[in-house]
Amino acid sequence: MPYINSTEFGSITIDDIKYNQVLIVGNKVIEREYKKLKELFGTSHKIGEWEVVELLKENPEAVFIGTGQDGMLSVDKNIIEIMKGKGIELVIEKTPVIITLYNNNLKIGKKVNALIHTTC
């Protein structure tokens, strides 16, 4: 499973590789589609339906959503309901907090996916 080394405004380092904003699904690290998010929502502070589909892959026990350095990413109530309906623990926190929680859950062998927003 990917290990998150660190984050700073606009980037995240996973297994010593720097990314912008990511989805972590099982063993895969996928860059978020900034251009598509911007076209649909006018911002990357929203979560696309296709991203929710990705987060549900690999049958995670938990999904971690990092809302950015300042917590500006919004999580729609329907996403919360989808996770709840599937019995998946959903943890939503600012990105620096999520990184610690994600890594700690990996250490105890929990099957987790994540969406990490790295700006505001």
Q: Give tens-digit pLDDT for 30-45.
A: 999 999 999 999 999 9
Enumerate residues 6+ apart whose C-beta is below 8 A from 104: none
In the structure, what pLDDT confidence band is assigned to residue 73 with cuts at 50, 70 and 90?
A: very high
Domains of the chain listed by start with CATH number: 4-117 (3.40.1230.10)
Rounded distance between C-alpha atoms, residue 94 and residue 100, angstroms: 11
**Considering the chain, what is the average pLDDT of its residues?**
97
Q: In this prediction, what percent of the chain has a pLDDT beyond 70? A: 100
Q: Degrees (nearest 5) of the Cα angle 27, 95, 87? A: 60
Which token pair is 47?
A: 């979560």
Residue 47: pLDDT band (50, 70, 90) is very high
Q: Are 73 and 47 in contact (CB under 8 A)?
A: yes
**Average of pLDDT values for 61-87?**
97
Percent of the chain with pLDDT over 90: 99
pLDDT of residue 59: 96
